[in-house]
Amino acid sequence: MTLSIWFSLFLISALGAMSPGPSLAVVAKHSLASGRMHGMITSWSHSLGVGIHALLGILGLAVVLKQSPTLFTAISYAGAGYLAYLGVNALRSKGGIAAKLKAGESTTMIEAARDGLMISLLNPKLALYFIALFSQFVALSAELSSRVIIVATPIIVDGLWYTLIAIILSRPKVLEKLRAKAHWIDRVSGVVLILLAMRVVYMA
């Protein structure tokens, strides 16, 4: 896998992690209610669920590519459409990340790990996201080492992003700055997702 291909993978993985949604709400809840350690446990258990989705996604796409290149191309186009849909929604969002930063009741570390894992495993949008994400990389990276990197990258990016969120939420002044800039994160994410969708169509 070339550095440029990996950077594209890293970028889209980061945008996926940064997109506002139930995952952010759960990490925020445990971080604000029970402290930094609970937030970090929630973060990495969530990334484990992301890894499971990523592994299933790449294995499924690899089988489709081998058995039916035409079907794989159709999936790639559908994935591009989904990325574009996410991009448009992000552009229309009004501070989506800030809206998800809410506190909850104090919880145990086991509950934090459970919530982080289950919110990712039971999120059907994650499965669709990884099909859209990996459709442009599977055909270019047939080696086992490359596919390990393809799966490992979103796991690490997701875990580190939500760990950062947990740390930020332990510093109220930093949190206020994040709220003030939340709409810019949405806008940048929207533009990049649409550009990535166009790239998928071009490469299919």
Residue-wise pLDDT tens digits, 131-187 = 777 776 766 666 778 888 888 999 999 999 999 988 887 776 665 666 566 667 667
Please tell me the predicted confidence (pLDDT) of residue 169.
78
Mean pLDDT score, 32-58: 87
The amino acid occupying position 173 is: K
Question: What per-residue confidence (pLDDT) applies to 62?
Answer: 65
pLDDT value at 7 more than 80: yes
What's the pLDDT at 66?
Answer: 66
pLDDT over 90 percentage in the chain: 13
Mean pLDDT of 65-84: 75
Structural domain for 109, as ranges: 3-203
- Considering only CA atoms, which of 8, 7, 4, 15 is closest in space to residue 129? 15
Total domain count for the chain?
1
Does 101 have pLDDT greater than 60? no
- pLDDT band at residue 56, thresholds of 50, 70 and 90? confident
Check residue 8 and give its pLDDT. 81
Q: What is the pLDDT of residue 103?
A: 43
Confidence (pLDDT) at 98: 45
Q: How confident is residue 189, by pLDDT bands cut at 50, 70 and 90?
A: low
Q: Compare 40 and 15 and report the one with higher pLDDT.
A: 40
Q: Please, which contacts does 104-112 make with residues 24 or more away whose CB atoms are closer than 8 Å?
A: 104/29, 104/30, 104/32, 104/33, 105/33, 106/33, 106/34, 107/30, 107/33, 107/34, 107/38, 109/37, 109/38, 109/41, 112/30, 112/34, 112/38, 112/39, 112/41, 112/42, 112/45
